Chains A and B, each alone.
Chain A
């Protein structure tokens, strides 16, 4: 009783629980083929976690399951086996394990993998997410916020940006599902996003802004592709947002306390 529960693995498990609605809805749509994709990514990510555990004594993490699930949901289809193995290995090893495992990484391994697939195999078709998967993102976000593993600032900031864009006449109907799923599964993930309250709002706003920009100006982009690209740029900017938030806080305190 003399310790709390919020260590790394608890957070990973609670995150998994939070995105459970998305996973279930997606599996009911994708069926056996989706399950096979999930198992494939689980095996590839799991093998790399095992290798790093044996070679570097780096404990494996349930966060690997998060990565696998995100990849099964969002990875381009009809990519050959070598391409899938290569890009997944790149993402998992270079974005997560090489930094010391989940919690020390700067970028989300799933985002890096997806970006690698997008740049490396531009001809591969991105998946079309069914509408109900997009709706499942709502309860997922709610669970994540209530249990404190997803920051309200990121989710509400993004929602705010989308609301403003929608009022300005931008049409999100075609891309809603992809945008919502990427927001909840990739952008709101606590490690690779901003960690201060104002930084999180900026983080969410930037994601919303970038998605809106891509929807309006990027012709021919698939919904998942533009959402993943926005997620990549957003998580690259996250440390900057934290730095801005800390700078403002220090300035405010200097003014008040001298």
Chain B
């Protein structure tokens, strides 16, 4: 049995720090040409009341929409639109009070065609690029730290971080996703480097460089990152190389989204698919699939699931959440065997297990490695667990997002989950910032 969290593993990898999390049915690497493309018949975006997504719809139920055509704009930021992930018909558009989005769903219909955005001078002019990204929905591919929201329309990042590797258990290699599109990727990198005056960090594995260094501005730096979780999370790299602060946000973006920006600038069309990895112990085998954003997860797992109860998560085993539709930003689907909960634990047992929260955290090598080694792990986890915002900020928590602590949750079995505590803490800090 593989025991994660043993010092010898860290030593065997030299200075690289992290943990191997075992995952069942991780997809085997394949040639880019062999990857199956599967567009699901339905695609949908759900929003909860907490998301408070207030929108101005641009389509109505029953309308036929082209792939890439704008579906709605945000009421608070009318510059930013969300576009259709596939050609089809609007099947549902459910709004709550105050124009809050609850659900938008599309039926697939290739006849509706593709929508062309006009790139204009976007490849050269930062203002035009912003407008193009905001109109095409690719603005949402960026995530701004601290706090992990989508960047505000006028926000200028202090640095950009492009992740060309993903170390989540079972994740697809982003280099596979951009294979064959190197030219568009380069155009994308050049374009987004206009958005900031600061450095652009391209994080990749050791090996051939994903983009020729000599043709790029000096601000673009290529960082070699060891292939072990959590080193492939943007949070760990941002924390190490360019800590985010309020007033100096750092944006991160995945490699395939940069490729999509490049393709948009080249052709005016929005990229139709993204590479998604399907893995988990409820499957017969794992697989890499190209599919559209908001895809139907059951459609993705069709033909792969084993009989028996299962739960399908959007995201990896560590931070994924049970969902019906691929969440924006996720590139991974995990199908997990659903284990029957034991009925009615004894009242005394449950009293014992519920009385002393948060559970104490014991310092171990595993806990240190779960944060990638760049942070003083135990002091940070203890600060989170006791709700000590000041110490947590001092230790660099503003560069992190809940997903960056998913491995620590997995390893330490912390209750309540450290990632949930971090989410609450970030929300509190954000409110104090605003006030």
Question: What residues make up the interface of A, taking CB atoms closer than 8 Å to B?
Answer: 1-8, 11-12, 53, 56-59, 100-104, 145-149, 151-152, 190-191, 195-197, 242, 245-246, 249-250, 253, 257
Q: Which residues of A contact B4 (CB under 8 A)?
A: 4-5
Interface string of B346-377 (1 = CB under 8 A from A): 00000111011001111111111000000010
Total number of A-B contacts with CB less than 8 angstroms? 110
19 A/B residue pairs, CB under 8 Å, sorted by A = A4-B413, A6-B362, A7-B413, A56-B355, A57-B351, A57-B355, A100-B360, A101-B356, A102-B360, A104-B360, A147-B7, A152-B7, A190-B362, A195-B376, A197-B368, A249-B376, A250-B394, A250-B395, A253-B243
A242 with B364: in contact, given A4-B413, A7-B412 (CB under 8 Å)? no
A4 with B412: in contact, given A59-B356, A196-B376 (CB under 8 Å)? yes
Decide: A146 and B355 in contact? CB cutoff 8 A: no
New contact pairs (6) apart from A7-B359, A58-B355, CB-CB < 8 Å: A4-B411, A101-B360, A147-B365, A196-B378, A197-B368, A250-B394
Q: Which residues of B contact A57 (CB under 8 A)?
A: 351-352, 355-356
A3 with B365: in contact, given A8-B359, A102-B360 (CB under 8 Å)? no
Q: Does B28 contact A (CB under 8 A)?
A: no
Q: Which residues of A contact B367 (CB under 8 A)?
A: 6
CA A152 – CA B364 in complex, angstroms? 11
Decide: B379 and A195 in contact? CB cutoff 8 A: yes
Could you say which of B24, B336, B360, B394 contacts A246, with CB atoms under 8 Å apart? B394
Decide: B353 and A59 in contact? CB cutoff 8 A: yes
Q: Which residues of A contact B394 (CB under 8 A)?
A: 246, 250
A4 with B5: in contact, given A102-B360, A148-B366 (CB under 8 Å)? yes
Decide: B396 and A147 in contact? CB cutoff 8 A: no
Q: Does B317 contact A (CB under 8 A)?
A: yes
A6 with B281: in contact, given A1-B22, A196-B376, A257-B243 (CB under 8 Å)? no
Q: Does B74 contact A (CB under 8 A)?
A: no
Interface residues on B, range: 35 or more
For the residues of A in contact with B, the DSSP-based class is loop
Name which of B3, B24, B351 has the most chain A CB atoms within 10 A of its CB. Answer: B3
- Segment 308-366 of B: residues with Cβ below 8 Å from A: 317, 336, 351-353, 355-356, 359-366
Decide: A59 and B362 in contact? CB cutoff 8 A: no
Q: Does B8 contact A (CB under 8 A)?
A: yes
A190 with B413: in contact, given A148-B5, A196-B378, A249-B376 (CB under 8 Å)? no
Q: Does B115 contact A (CB under 8 A)?
A: no
A-B pairs with lowest CB-CB distance, top 10? A103-B360, A148-B365, A57-B355, A195-B378, A4-B411, A7-B413, A11-B362, A195-B363, A6-B366, A190-B363
Could you say which of B356, B376, B413 contacts A100, with CB atoms under 8 Å apart? B356
Q: Which residues of A contact B396 (CB under 8 A)?
A: 253
Q: Which residues of A contact B3 (CB under 8 A)?
A: 5, 147
For the complex formed, measure the closest distance between the CB of A192 and the CB atoms of chain B, giving whole angstroms.
Answer: 10
A200 (CB) vs chain B CBs: closest residue: B363
B317 (CB) vs chain A CBs: closest residue: A2
A250 (CB) vs chain B CBs: closest residue: B394
A6 (CB) vs chain B CBs: closest residue: B366
